[in-house]
Amino acid sequence: MRGETAPQTHLRYESVCRVHIVPALGEFLLTRLGVSDVQSFYSALAGTNLSARSRKNIALVLTNALNRAVEQRLIATSPAQSLKKRLPRVEQAEMRVLDQTQSQQLLASARGDILYPAVLIALATGARRGEILALSWSRVDFDRSSILISESVEQIASSIRMKPPKSGTFRTVDIGSAVLEELRRLKVEQAEALLALGIRQTGSTLVCCRPDGVMLTPSQLSDNFRKTLIRKTGLPRVRFHDLRHSHASHLLAAGVNIKVVAERLGHADPAITLRVYSHLMPGAQAEAAARIDAIFRPQ
């Protein structure tokens, strides 16, 4: 399955197999593994301090592996198939977002910090962490007031690689004049700082990087954001990824069409956006009720 999944996903699957599945079920012959054996494995997991989400992920990896064995006709049926409806129920984690005032406070506190460009772009576009770190100046169109999201940075252990965005397609996100002017200012400041180090800024220079132009890793961005900026501002303990949620929240609160929100976020289907953010659409139910109610009012 190495060629069928992203490297990070493959690494996670390999870890689940090595740490949890093989120690518990590795001694069983595949053809002798029964439903009761899988059930005993799930029951043993339930007795650990693993979260429901972790236990469900382990069960899903095992299920996928056994389904592959069926596809390859190594076994006739999967012993995990009849248990798929008994997997741990995972409660949806509460989404944390910054309101408009908090977003402005974060931007003001981050100004002058190495992370300021990343925070600015995250709040202005809703781009993902890896997409922001991969953004070069050649992808910022100052004439058309837009940013092209065409690459993403992925960190696997200590190695870094460039890959296409999560959706697999490029997208262009329009930005307002205030954000555009900030980016113009940051570009000039960066060019001067790099020149002082004997480095020439080019179109391939990253927008969000270290003072010497070297790429920030995803872990460095997240760690510095949490340990430095959030503690400094006293704002709610949000992750860098929550700035993406905050962007979506601001758009929906302003009544922006859900299809437009999905396009900006890079969701392949607006249904994904609805599923994730429908609870952030204020007054949607009340508006629907009012529109239907109008049908029953005499003209």
Query: pLDDT (tens digit, 9 = 90+) per residue, 3-58?
Result: 566 777 778 888 889 999 999 999 999 999 999 999 999 999 988 888 888 898 99
Q: Cα dihedral sign for 236, 239, 245, 251?
A: positive
> Residue 140: is its pLDDT beyond 80?
yes
Rounded to whole angstroms, the Cα distance separating 207 from 149 reads 12
Centre a 10 Å sphere on the Cβ of residue 194 and count the other Cβ atoms it contains.
Answer: 18
Rounded to whole angstroms, the Cα distance separating 26 from 20 reads 10
pTM metric for this prediction:
0.77
> Helices (H) and strands (E) in the chain — how many of each?
14, 5
CA distance readout (Å), 255 to 227, 264, 267, 281? 34, 15, 18, 8
CA distance readout (Å), 23 to 19, 54, 75? 7, 17, 21
> Residue 224: is its pLDDT beyond 80?
yes
Q: For residue 123, give the nearest of 98, 148, 147 by alpha carbon.
A: 98
The ranges assigned to domains in the chain are: 2-86, 102-235
Q: Write the CB contacts of 299 (distance below 8 Å, at least 6 apart in sequence).
A: none
Which DSSP string corresponds to 15-28? HHIIIIIHHHHTTS
Centre a 10 Å sphere on the Cβ of residue 192 and count the other Cβ atoms it contains.
Answer: 10
Q: Under CATH, which number does the domain 2-86 receive?
A: 1.10.150.130
Q: Give the per-residue pLDDT at 21.
A: 93
**Domain 102-235 falls in which CATH fold?**
hpI Integrase; Chain A (1.10.443)
One fold for 2-86 and 102-235: no
Tell me phi and psi for residue 272, to 5 degrees. Answer: -65, -45
What digits encode the pLDDT tens for the residues 170-196? 999 999 999 999 999 999 999 999 999
Rounded to whole angstroms, the Cα distance separating 205 from 38 reads 52
Q: For residue 119, give the nearest of 223, 240, 245, 264 by alpha carbon.
A: 240
**pLDDT band per the 50, 70, 90 thresholds, residue 168:** confident
The pLDDT > 90 percentage for the chain reads 60
Q: Is 266 left (phi over 0), alpha (psi -120 to 50) or beta?
A: left
What digits encode the pLDDT tens for the residues 69-120? 999 999 999 999 888 887 877 766 677 899 999 999 999 999 999 999 999 9
